[in-house]
Structure 1
Amino acid sequence: MSGLLRQRGCPPALALRRARSTSAAAPAAPQQSAEWLRAAPFSQMPGPRPLPLVGNLWRFLPPLGEFSRLDLAETLLAMRGRYGDIVRVEHVPLKRPVVYAYNPEDIQKVFRQEGPWPVRGGVPSLCYYRSVTRRDWFQGNVGVIVSEGEEWLEARRKVNRPMMQPRSAKHYVAPIDRVAQEFVDRMLELRDEDGKMPPDFKNELNKWSLESISVVALDARLGCLEKALPADSEPQRMIDAAMVVFDSMMRLDMRLSPWRYVTTPAWRRLVTALDCIYEISMRHISRAVERIKARGDQRESSGEMSVLERLLVSNDDPRVAIVMALDMMFAGIDTTATALSTTLYFLAKNPEAQQKLYRELRAKLPDSGQPLTAETLEDCGFLRACVKEALRLRPVTVFNMRRVMVDDLVLSGFRVPRGVDVILSHFAITNSEQHFAEASRFVPERWVKDALGGFPARQAHPFAYLPFGFGPRMCVGKRFAEFEIHVLLARMIRRFHVEFEGEASWKTTMMHMIASPLTFKITERCPADSHGARA
């Protein structure tokens, strides 16, 4: 396709700078504070010292590089173990200077001082695809995922109310629950004679996730849960493409790659996969828009509009709604399925917690077939605690990133100058005994208030655990993702006792996930057993 060529001969590095020249502008630097004047210079911050000519590049290259065989999660832990709670890494070709922050106080300071339009960075390949390679498709509206600066702020304002209001998410509990019940029924068909899920059960969870998010983003069902879904079906092609996208972005944006200057195989795979997601999604989005137009203003007057309808009604430019729906489809496939499988694994390995959750669900859902409501989910405090605890141990994303856009940011007593990227290393913090007692154990009770309104264990710093980010760039789909996870997990544990043989292995690409086959063993519970003993 012509889009695979660099448009008009513009090198990616130059095009990216042009695309961001107006959107990533920072506010004027304030006067240097007394804290800044007292702080140690950036050059004295701990970190690996560069060698002449090669800098720190060799540390990330096999076979001798100390970080070359580690994934992102392992690198975060290794950096902290060797250099401490604040680490500086400079002189890596094609990379900005980076600070790794492991202190919640520093993380709080970064978020509190990030200015009116936080600069996240981290996905230049997707930014280039939308702003240059496929600019004829996106026409300058690249969405809240990749835009920066004032451009991002304007885009986020247009989608905040429909996406972030609690009532918007509650509107979808019933259809999300119907999808979950269908998936739980399908699990009985998928299990083998020993009650185990197939080795490709992760793909089945991705189908559930795509079907659930399509209800929200498109007001439609895609048919992902149909039996024997063909490999060339639209849902399966979208799932496969999403896997290619995450793998390609890892290779292009997180590792050393010359894609900004020459077309690489990983770049070509990324473009092909993104084109696939875009083309399939646009067909369904266009159908949804036509359905909404055909209905007229009936639902608007009743106040029962869907998210897509609210986005269309509240914005003069329909492309705002279209790009937001596209982002939801793109970002909502693998992330939600990963969070669900992680929580299910920890419940399978901790039968006491699973039993406690089952008792809660049985009390709230005496009849396993009755509909789940938003109010019921709000009453299931231990259900929410189980998800929080699983994502503390194994967060879907192991870090967040911000670019320093002011001159006087001081972290752990060191100056961090403007333009430096700060890696907020949540994974290392949430797994640290310094911040969480018995950090390696799955203890959902740490998130549950006791009868007196207090907590059973000392509370961690409020910025030690931020699975969906913080502040104006908090995940815009947070409420929908939580509802999807809570609903399916409730349906699973209410109906099945779940086991997992052995210990799972983990890997970190753009997400932190179980690498082992998800061969969960399920056993239907006895409906008449009020004490929750499995059949």
Structure 2
Amino acid sequence: MFMPGGKYKNKDLADLIMAMREDYGSIHVVPGIMGGPPMLSTRNPKDFEVVFRHEGTWPNRPGADALLYHRQMHRKDFFQGVEGVAPTQGKASIRNLCSWTLESASVVALDRQLGLLKESNKRIEATKLFHLLEDFFKVSADLELKPSAWRMFKTPKLMKMMNILDTILYIISAYIDEAVERLEKEAKEGVVRPVDEQSVLEKMLKVDKKVATIMAMDMLMAGVDTTSSTFTGVMLCPAKNPEKQAILREEVMKILQGLGFHGGIHEELLNRDSVLSGYQVPAGTSVSMVPLSLLSSEEHFPKAAEFLPERWIRNATDSTGQCPANDLKLKNPFVFLPFGFGPRMCVGKRIVDMELELGIARLLRNFNIEFNHSTEKAFRSELISFPNIPLKFKFTDLAN
């Protein structure tokens, strides 16, 4: 059914998951195809909690096999056993949103701006890196989540992924070399910064240059498109709900007053026998936990179609004043875990939180934001969600 002409061919990830759920129920097993492992899929948040609670000290999170293949096999000459955080399992383990998130991540990962938001002699190279990071997620969805024979032989799509990762590695290695050269020059000139003022990259380089390079690669691959997509959603909500935007702006202005202030799918390998939705599931089973349909479900989110940010605030009511906060609030916290849970939760959570909060606060302080276009099917689902509509935001300068 995944082959040309099949029922599931050419569906994006969200549509594919929903179609299979409709055909096979809320919990079902997809048998291993073309060398891939079998996968149990569940939409029950109670199952999510069981899986996360049973993950143990060293969780096994599948879903990055192609990235691991690149590091263990294709470019073993460079990585030499240093696999990084993203694919490792077990104990070894200019008002342009996308450009802004890459610039922000690069400050942490590479200790420099890349020049995407201003003219720079490195802009062409930085733009290439930006597109490569997006391509990584698109091809990953085909290799990791859809039937693919790449585990059996080197398919064209696998080689495309290897080329993407090779080029990302080449560009990032060049930036790392520049950082090393700059730091060595500063050391010769007697520049010494206190530890608390040293960048993440500077601290990592003191440990090992290879580790620093791989960590930078992981941070950029994990934190650019994910953050830009999230920020797009954050922007669309107040833009389409001006009354909520006004309330948020008022709160932002109070907080920033007087300051010089000018940012979906979990897979887990069960570590022990478990019971999911009444079924006995043996240890070692790959479990896919996809809450896509739950996020718009009245069962878990009362008045799910309405933008009600007050649902996340204690002791608040909705716009009519008729629905107490305890009725609006999420009943099961495992329905919404964008950064995951436990030892393998996203290592960039605090950076992303800060990036999103500072980004939206700065925009609301300086602009009124509008989006006078349809938001139907605003996102498409690959390995992550990507904006699927032109982002034609209207920014109007505020008097303040």
TM-score by length of 1: 0.67
Q: 3-state SS of the aligned residue for 1:303?
A: helix
The letter of the residue matching 1:303 is D
How far apart are the structure 1 equivalents of 2:149 and 2:35?
A: 8
2:374 corresponds to which of 483, 491, 502: 502
Q: What is residue 355 of structure 2 aligned with on the other side?
A: 484
How far did 1:286 drift?
Answer: 2.2
1:525 aligns with 2:391: no
Q: What is residue 319 of structure 1 aligned with on the other side?
A: 210
1:459 aligns with 2:330: yes
How far did 1:465 drift?
Answer: 0.8
Q: Evaluate the alpha carbon distance shift between residue 62 and residue 442 of structure 1 in structure 2; reply closer, same or farther with a 3 A threshold.
A: farther
Alignment of 1:131-150 (within 5 A): 131-150=72-91
1:370 aligns with 2:263: no
How far apart are the structure 2 equivalents of 1:308 and 1:258?
A: 37
1:220 aligns with 2:162: no
Alignment of 1:18-33 (within 5 A): none
How far did 1:517 drift?
Answer: 0.9
How far apart are the structure 2 equivalents of 1:137 and 1:448?
A: 49
How far apart are the structure 2 equivalents of 1:231 and 1:508?
A: 31
Q: 3-state SS of the aligned residue for 1:371?
A: coil
How far did 1:281 drift?
Answer: 0.9
Q: 3-state SS of the aligned residue for 1:415?
A: strand
1:261 corresponds to which of 152, 172, 181: 152
- Flag the structure with larger Rg: 1
Q: What is residue 94 of structure 1 aligned with on the other side?
A: 35
How far apart are the structure 2 equivalents of 1:85 and 1:319?
A: 44
Q: Which one is further off, 358-367 or 76-85? A: 76-85
Alignment of 1:112-261 (within 5 A): 112-152=53-93, 186-187=94-95, 204-227=96-119, 233-261=124-152
Alignment of 1:45-84 (within 5 A): 58=1, 60-65=2-7, 67-84=8-25
How far apart are the structure 2 equivalents of 1:525 and 1:232?
A: 31
How far apart are the structure 2 equivalents of 1:219 and 1:458?
A: 40
How far apart are the structure 2 equivalents of 1:490 and 1:403?
A: 39
Per-residue Cα deviation, 1:357-392 (whole angstroms, up to 9, x for no partner): 11112222346x8227xxxxxxxxxxxxxx9xxxxx
TM-score by length of 2: 0.89
1:271 aligns with 2:162: yes
Q: 3-state SS of the aligned residue for 2:336?
A: coil
Q: What is residue 226 of structure 2 aligned with on the other side?
A: 335
2:296 corresponds to which of 426, 431, 447: 431
CA contact (8 A) 2:42 2:288 kept: yes
Q: What is residue 6 of structure 1 aligned with on the other side?
A: none
How far apart are the structure 2 equivalents of 1:476 and 1:442?
A: 29
CA contact (8 A) 2:115 2:122 kept: no
Q: Which one is further off, 262-271 or 140-149? A: 262-271
CA contact (8 A) 2:370 2:394 kept: yes
The letter of the residue matching 1:246 is F
CA contact (8 A) 2:34 2:152 kept: no
How far apart are the structure 1 equivalents of 2:385 and 2:398?
A: 31
How far apart are the structure 2 equivalents of 1:288 and 1:241?
A: 21
The letter of the residue matching 1:514 is P
CA contact (8 A) 1:244 1:269 kept: no
Q: 3-state SS of the aligned residue for 1:226?
A: coil
CA contact (8 A) 2:115 2:123 kept: no
How far did 1:306 drift?
Answer: 2.1
Q: What is residue 248 of structure 2 aligned with on the other side?
A: 357
Q: What is residue 413 of structure 1 aligned with on the other side?
A: 278
CA contact (8 A) 2:34 2:149 kept: no
Q: Evaluate the alpha carbon distance shift between residue 455 and residue 298 of structure 1 in structure 2; reply closer, same or farther with a 3 A threshold.
A: farther
How far did 1:477 drift?
Answer: 1.0
How far apart are the structure 2 equivalents of 1:91 and 1:306?
A: 44
How far did 1:454 drift?
Answer: 6.9
How far did 1:81 drift?
Answer: 4.1
| Percent identical residues | 37
1:344 aligns with 2:235: yes
How far apart are the structure 2 equivalents of 1:371 and 1:219?
A: 21
Count of aligned residue pairs for this structure pair: 389
How far did 1:127 drift?
Answer: 0.8
Per-residue Cα deviation, 1:415-453 (whole angstroms, up to 9, x for no partner): 112332101112222222211111222211111123899
Per-residue Cα deviation, 1:178-228 (whole angstroms, up to 9, x for no partner): xxxxxxxx34xxxxxxxxxxxxxxxx322211111111112222212114x
How far did 1:63 drift?
Answer: 2.8
CA-atom RMSD in angstroms: 2.6
Ranges in structure 1 where 5+ consecutive residues have no aligned partner: 1-57, 153-185, 188-203, 373-386, 388-396, 528-535
Q: Which one is further off, 264-273 or 335-344? A: 264-273
Per-residue Cα deviation, 1:278-323 (whole angstroms, up to 9, x for no partner): 11111111222344454479334x533322233344x4x4422221
Q: What is residue 321 of structure 2 aligned with on the other side?
A: none
How far apart are the structure 1 equivalents of 2:245 and 2:316?
A: 21
Q: 3-state SS of the aligned residue for 1:221?
A: coil
How far apart are the structure 2 equivalents of 1:70 and 1:448?
A: 37
How far apart are the structure 2 equivalents of 1:415 and 1:439?
A: 32
